[in-house]
Structure formats: C-alpha cells, structure tokens
Structure 1
Amino acid sequence: MKPKGFCRFITIERNEIYLNVLLKLKEVLYSVLPITVIVMILNFTVAPLDISLIVKFLIGTVLIIIGLSTFLFGIDIGIIPIGNAMGLTIVKANKLWVVVIAGLILGFFISIAEPDLYILASQVDFVTSGLISRESIVAVVSVGIGAMLSLGFIRIVHNISLHKVLTVLYAIIFILALFTSREFLAISFDASGATTGAMTVPFILALATSVSALKKDSKASEEDNFGLVAIVSAGAILAVMIMSVISKTDTITASLEYNKATSTSIISSFVQKIATIALEVILALLPILIIFLLFQKISFKLSRKAFKKVLFGLLFTFIGFVLFLVGVNGGFMDVGAVIGYSVASLENKFYLVIVGFILGSVTVLAEPAVYVLTHQIEDVTSGYVKRKIVIISLAIGVGIAVALSMIRILVPEVQLWHYLLPGYLISLAMSYFVPKLFVGIAFDSGGVASGPMTATFILAFAHGAADAVEEANVLIDGFGMIAMVALTPLIALQILGFIFKVKSKKGGIKKSDD
C-alpha cells in the first residue's frame, strides 16, 4: 500500500515540481551563461585555452546549471520549511538556554552543508598542499557560525540594535586582525562571504522570519527579518582568526600546478569524483535529516503530505549538491585559474584590472540570490527603490571590488587590510544614520553577492593571476577576493538607504524606518 500511495504523491506533485525546477533553471541560466560567454570570448582573444580544458569547462557548466537548479529547488521545499519550523519551535520554548543551544547546533550543521564553504576550504587545502586542511577550515568556521547564530537569536529576543552588535563584533575582529597572519587574514574574510551561500542564507532567513514574526511590534519584526546573516558572517571571520592566533602558522607557502596537469580522459575527471563527493554530501546533510526526523516526532507534527514534501526537498538538495560540486571540481575552477594566469602574464597588466572589473560586474548580475534580494528591497520600499537601480549599484560595486583585488595582486605594497579597514569603518559609521531596515539588508547582502559563482570561478581567477605575478603570493594575494565582493554591497545599499531616507522625508514614502 505504501508504494502505491507514494506513487500517487509523486503524480500529484509532478506539475509543481516541473514548474518550480524550470523557474530555478531560468535563474541559474542567467547566473552561469554570462560567465560562459565571457570565457569563450577570452579564449579567442587574450587567453587561449587548450581544447581539453574548454570541453571540461563546458561539461562542468552543464553540470553546474543542472545541479544548482536542482539544489535551489530542494532548498525551497526542504531546507526552508525545516528552518521555519525550527524557528517557531525555538521561540515557543521561551527559554534562553534553549535558544542558545539550538543556535549552536543548527548553525554548526547547516554551515557544514554549505557548498560555497566546501569550495573555499578545498581551494585553501589545495594551494597549501594540505597544510591547512579542508576539514579544519569547515569545522572551525561551522563552530563560529553556530556561536554567532545563538548571539543573533538573543539579539532578536532582547531587541538589541543590530548596528550596536555589529560595531562590537567588528571591533573585536579589528583587534584580532593585529595578531592574525596575512595568510589567515585573507582566508578569514573570504570564509565570511563563502559561508553565507545557497544553503546557509535561506535557512537562516527562514529562522529569522519565524523568530521575529512572533514579536508584537510589527515594525521591529520587519526589521529583524534582516541582520542575522550579517552576525553569522562575523562568526566565520572570528573563528578563522582565532584559529590563526592559536596555531601560529605564519610561514605557509602556496603555489598552483593546474598548468602541469593533463588528464588522459576528460570524462574520468568527473566520474572519479562522484563517489567521494556523494559520500561527503551524505555526511553533510545527514545531521539535518536526523534533526528534522527527531523534531518531527517531538514537535513539528507535519502532515504526511508536508512531511514527504520536505523529504523530497532533501533528496533534490542532495542530488543538486553532488552535481554542482562535481561540475565545479571537474574543470570549472581550472579554467578560471588558467584564464587568470594567462591574462596576468600579458605585458600590459592593465588588461588584468579591466577583465577583473568585467568578470566582477557580470558575476554579481549572475548570482541567483541577487534577484531575490532586489525583489525584496523593491517590495519593502513599495517600489520606490527600483530593483534595476539596486542591481546596477551592486554590479558597479562588485566590479570595482574585483578590480581592486587585481591591483592588490599587481602591487605588493597594497595589502588586504588597506581596503577592508576603511571599508568596514565606513560601513559601520553609516549604519548609525541609515534606516534600520536598510542596515540589515545591506549587511545581509554581502553574503548574497558572494555566492557560488564568486566562490568558484572568480576566486580561481584570482589564484591564477597571483600565481602568474612574480611578486605576488597565492595564499596571501590570491585569497581575499570573496571578502572584497562581500564588502562593497554594505556601502552600496546603505547609500541607497540614505537616498530612501531623504526621499521619504520629502514626502515620497510614508514610512518610518528611522
């Protein structure tokens, strides 16, 4: 009887699945195809590629498109409902210790399942030849995420101003930065952007929505929908910095060997990775499944249909996660590194800055989560702040961020903190004058802008460029890219917040967000 019922369920849900997958596929096509076109243009102009690399890149592109579409659909019907249900359960407990422990556990396990973090940690492992292992980065960052998620819950429950919490957190970060090695400084800020990716952001936003929705003050509830991702991002930075201070690993060197690798079989470079990646994804998602099943028995009590839908969502998440990571590891990042190396090797170094700006602008336009964020801003401001203006601002900002990163690679005297320190000081200062709603949106947007495309192709491009420039260090100068991409939206969207505030005072919008 159960198999028949299960088949009926599949038949009933089939149309909904097809429709939603097609919508996700459309979003992801917008995400990946612009970068694919630019790569082909570069191949025929300044950075010719080996035919085997091109074929691997195209196969990887197809796998990424299918995988990311499936993954995002699984997030919608599996991960987000779990996040909403968990948030309601936490608040209903009405006990601070429950909130703290729940934040630690959920933050840790959801971070472990984040694709962007796996990609960043794998690249750190690769360029350091295993001296900084992937497992250590994932574990340390996940602990930091869990700790800050607990702090974020406490902030919402006790109505603590977001800008005050962020000021304290970044003051601690700036102090720790004095004792952090240059290698770990870049990795720590990159971890912040990579952690808040396709898995973490929807889950955390779902938790924030559920926790804040139970507030009696509707204005406070609306504002608390944003800001939790920002606090969590700071946790990743703090965790890696503390790791640096404790381990005292300040003599690490790094290099790339992508230009020496030649595979005898293009297909085998993908097939060989499937089993290993599938096992890793199972281990990453298993804790979430176990937590869901336990709470379904104890608290959630979802209907049979809703329960099966969530399980289907987790299945789609698993399949999409595997395809995405296989596509990324099978050739997508290799091409990014080779193009970065080729462009940086040109006699005219200005080409590297220009290509960096173009890739940065196109990448942020391509991130699927940017479409969600821009629609959200347009809805909150009742259409007064047009999403087109937001997208253009983000594109220019992120393009400048990547271009500045290329300058840092070319000019050894320019260090990452020369950008980050004034950038975050300006952002924090602005947070005291911008409407509170925009503070949360702006600081959350850093995680949105630094999504899967930034964590894969753009970061690999930076690594290749750093390897080609004799004065540059791959570990110090090659990392820090995601950090820059995560920084610029903080300023760009808070500027829009200022504009929104000025216009509203002139009578353009009857809304008190101050």
Structure 2
Amino acid sequence: MNPLTEKLKEVLVSVFPIIAIVLILNFTIVPLETTVVLRFLLGATLVIIGLAVFLLGTDIGITPIGNYLGKGVTKSNKVWVVVIAGLFLGFFISIAEPDLHILANQINTVTGGLVPSSTILVSVSIGIAIMMTVGILRIVFNVPLFKILTGVYLFIFILSLFTSSEFLAISFDASGATTGALTVPFMLALSSGISSMKKNGKASEKDSFGLVAISSSGAIMAVMFLNIITGQNEMTGELPVDLNPSGTIWEPFLHEFPIISQEIFIALVPIILTFLGYNFFSLKLHKRPLARVLKGVLYVFIGLVIFLVGVNAGFMNVGSLIGYNLAGMDVSVYLLLIAFVLGLVTILAEPAVYVLTQQIEQVTNGYVKRKAVLVALSIGVGLAVLLSVIRIMVPGLELWHYLLPGYIIAIGLMYIVPKMFIGMAFDAGGVASGPMTATFILAFVQGAAQSIEGADVIRDGFGMIAMVAMMPIITLQLLGLIFKLKSKREDR
C-alpha cells in the first residue's frame, strides 16, 4: 500500500468518531446552524488530509533531522556544544509549535490583551530551552530520570504556592501545549539519537524517553515566574461565542490560511537552516537521502498548514458552541457524558500520539503493544476532560485539588514501576495534549465555562490541558505496573 494511502486510512479511522459525535449531537440535542456544520465537515476533511501528509513528512523529514542532530551533539564530546545546541534547538522548536500559538492567542483573547500572546510565546520558549538542555545533559551523564523529575516537580510545587490560581491553570496548560505535533517527533528523535550513541544498550533504551517530560516542565516554571515577576492577579475573562455566524462557508478558511502558512514557515526555517548547516560542515549526506529529508520537511509544512486551517476554521467554533449549549441545558448528565466520550476519542486524532506509540513498540521490540498504550491513553484523557468539566460545575473546586494528589501519585509510582515506563508515561502526558486537545476540547470546556453561571473562563476554562497532560502519566505507569506483575507471574 502507498505510504500516504496508509496514513490516510489510519487518520480517517481516528478522526471519524469525533465527526460522528458532532453530527449525532447536531441532529439530536444540540442543533447547530447549517453554516457551522458545513464548516465543521470541511474542517474535518482538511484535518484528515493534513494529518496524513504531516505524519508522512514526520517519518521522512523531522524524525531523521532530530536523529542526526542528536548524534552530532553527542559526538562532539564537549559539554558547551551540548548546552548551546540544547538552548538553541529548544527555543526554536518551542516557538515553532502550533499548539503554543493556539494557546497564546486564546489567552490573549480571553484576557482581553492583558497577557499578550508574544509574552507567553517567548517566556515559555525560554523555559523549554533551559529544561531541554537539562534533559539532554541527563542523557549524556546518565542521571536517572525519576530523580530529575522528583526534583523538578518539588520545585514546581514550591513555585505554585506563590502563583495565582489563574496563572496556575495557564502554566500547566502551557506545558501540555508545547508538546504537540512538531516538538514531540523532534524531541523523541533527538533523545533517541543521543541515547543511541551510548555504549550501554539497556541504558539507551530507557534514556530514549523522558526528554519531552523534562522539557515541558520548563513551560510550567516559565509561566509561574512570569506571574511572580509581573504580579498579575484576580483576572477575569470572557469567551466570545458566535451562535449565529455570518459570511460564507469558505470565509474563516481563507482568513486562516495565510496566517498559519506564515507561522509554520517562520517556525520551520531555523530548524531547517541548522540541519543544512550541520550537513554542510559535518554530516555531508548524499544527494538522495538529503533530498528525501527535505521532501519530508515540505510534507510537514503542507500537512501542518492544511491540518491547522481545518482545526482553527472548522473545529474550534463547533467545540465552543457544543460546550456552551450543553452547559446551558437543565440536565447536566449530557455535558458530563459528552465530555468523557470526547476525551476518549480525541486522543486518537492527536498526530504525536502515533509517533510516540510506534516508538514505544519499536524500542520494546513489541513487548509493549501499541493498542495497550492507546487504550491507557484514551481512558486517562476521557477522565481528565470529565474531571475538568466537574471542576467548572462545582463552585470552590480548584485545579490544585486535582493536580496536587495527581502528581503525588505519579511521582510515587515512579519508584515502583519499571524504569522504562517512567519516561514513556511522562512523554505520553505531553503527547496527549496536542493540536486536537488544544483546540476542539479546550474550546468545548471554555464554551461550558462561559455558559455556567458563577464559572470564570480564565480560572475554570484553562487547566483542562493540564489535566489531559497529567492523567496519561498515571494510567501509563499503572500499565507498567501491570506489565511488571505479569512478567513476575510468567517467571514463576
């Protein structure tokens, strides 16, 4: 089968449940305007095509670049090269991430410009750059992942005591948003490239996971520091919900296309120039493999543009409308049920999930099956979205009431599960909160927050991505515990 046809088939199976849920709701309890439904269907078509092209491009473009650069950084045997490379690549791969742009724009919109998108983009990218460098040095110097993560999350807990509830939600959401369709394949390949240069095979297998987890913690700390430095507190916000959209079906798509094309182009250029420079001075690939990598990057560009245009113009508005309308009903069970089901199926449409699950199966030589990881992720994300909606509905229920016990469980599990599952689980937390979550489900939850009396869009609407990022850490580590007990039984 043609690789592109294979990807199309794979993506179609994943995105179809979301399309089905929206259409069922439209013809039953949440009727939508015809223009909205047609825009959604057009957006869904673009999502399927864009995601398939992107995944193909990732396989032949972004993943090899990350691998080559990872091996090159390690081969130098100089700590200063590792540090500079980590800071440079971390900053530019983060500022390139489409999910972060979506979240930054959403924060800017909801706060009425009080927190500009550029402030979020730059501060988060600096945090990612610093922590990605720490993550690379961890692999190089063979520091156990669980020790680093324990220290990092203890420091985050201390910072959270000085952070306002609004910024607490935004900081953990920023962590999830930075690990999306572009950063995850790159970081996984980079860590795989670095760890493959180590002589101890077993160590390198464990070390090929965990870089995403450490890097994404930089986003949390960066936003917390931003709040502590600026002292911005007691913010309120509103989400504009357009119940009767005007204009043609094509209008939002034509509006989004040039903006997204420019964003993705600017985002990819530093990474491509870095790779071309490294290839010219050191790697010296032959014309055919070099052309294949560059063709892959072109596919990534085309795929991401098509995908994000579809998501922004067709998905986001439908998400907020459904959340707004369901929350306005007398029977709250509909909102809770749809929240759980959306979380359950949306994770399957995340592009980075495929990259991570394939790598897990490859690294473990098929011992950890891809389907088992997908089931664990789906249940975790379903529960995360459900708990986020319950938080909006119950006055006085704060985000930290979930995150504090959740991360205590996650950190505690690190000390009893097989070490390889720790990196997988924390990486999966970042992977789960990708483009579909940052757009469709974020819009759904914020639409519900806008509709429910007494709820605030900033305090209650944000924090859902944080929940989506946390739950897979617990569920995948529990999966690791099951595998550990199963292997002990087999040994007997």
Q: Which residue of 2 aligns with 1:91?
A: 74
CA, structure 1 residues 278+392, in 2 after alignment: closer, same or farther (shift >3 Å)? closer
Deviation at 1:304, TM superposition (A): 0.8
Task: Give distance in 2, aligned partners of 1:174 and 1:119.
Answer: 26
The reply on whether 1:350 has 2:333 as its aligned counterpart is yes
- Map 1:110-509 onto structure 2 (within 5 A): 110-259=93-242, 262-378=245-361, 383=366, 385-508=368-491
Q: Does 100-109 or 25-34 show the bigger shift?
A: 25-34
Deviation at 1:381, TM superposition (A): 5.2
Moved over 6 A (4+): none
Q: Which residue of 1 aligns with 2:40?
A: 57
Task: Give distance in 2, aligned partners of 1:380 and 1:499.
Answer: 19
Gaps of 5+ in 1: 1-17, 510-514
SS at match of 1:446: helix
Task: Give distance in 1, aligned partners of 2:369 and 2:156.
Answer: 34
Q: Does 419-428 or 360-369 show the bigger shift?
A: 360-369
Deviation at 1:20, TM superposition (A): 2.2
Report how many residues are paired.
492
CA, structure 1 residues 299+394, in 2 after alignment: closer, same or farther (shift >3 Å)? same
The reply on whether 1:101 has 2:54 as its aligned counterpart is no
Contact 2:51 2:351 in 1 (8 A): no
CA, structure 1 residues 454+309, in 2 after alignment: closer, same or farther (shift >3 Å)? same
Gaps of 5+ in 2: none
Q: Which residue of 2 aligns with 1:5?
A: none
SS at match of 2:115: coil
Contact 1:27 1:368 in 2 (8 A): no
CA, structure 1 residues 410+302, in 2 after alignment: closer, same or farther (shift >3 Å)? same
Task: Give distance in 1, aligned partners of 2:118 and 2:11.
Answer: 29
Task: Give distance in 1, aligned partners of 2:25 and 2:110.
Answer: 25
Q: Deviations over 1:280-321 (max 9, x none)?
A: 222111111221221121112111111212221222222122
SS at match of 1:507: helix
TM-score when normalising by structure 1: 0.92
Q: Does 129-138 or 139-148 show the bigger shift?
A: 129-138
CA, structure 1 residues 289+387, in 2 after alignment: closer, same or farther (shift >3 Å)? closer
Of the three residues 10, 24, 27, the one matched with 1:27 is 10
The reply on whether 1:42 has 2:3 as its aligned counterpart is no
The reply on whether 1:77 has 2:60 as its aligned counterpart is yes
Q: Deviations over 1:140-188 (max 9, x none)?
A: 1111111111001111111111001001100111111111111111111
Task: Give distance in 2, aligned partners of 1:373 and 1:249.
Answer: 37
Contact 1:72 1:198 in 2 (8 A): no
Provide the aligned C-alpha RMSD in A: 1.8
Q: Deviations over 1:205-257 (max 9, x none)?
A: 11111111111111111100111111011111111111111121113221122
SS at match of 2:175: helix
Task: Give distance in 1, aligned partners of 2:20 and 2:310.
Answer: 17
Q: Please tell me the residue identity of whatever aligns with 2:417.
A: V
Task: Give distance in 1, aligned partners of 2:85 and 2:356.
Answer: 27
TM-score when normalising by structure 2: 0.96
CA, structure 1 residues 97+165, in 2 after alignment: closer, same or farther (shift >3 Å)? same
Q: Please tell me the residue identity of whatever aligns with 2:63.
A: I
Q: Please tell me the residue identity of whatever aligns with 2:196.
A: A
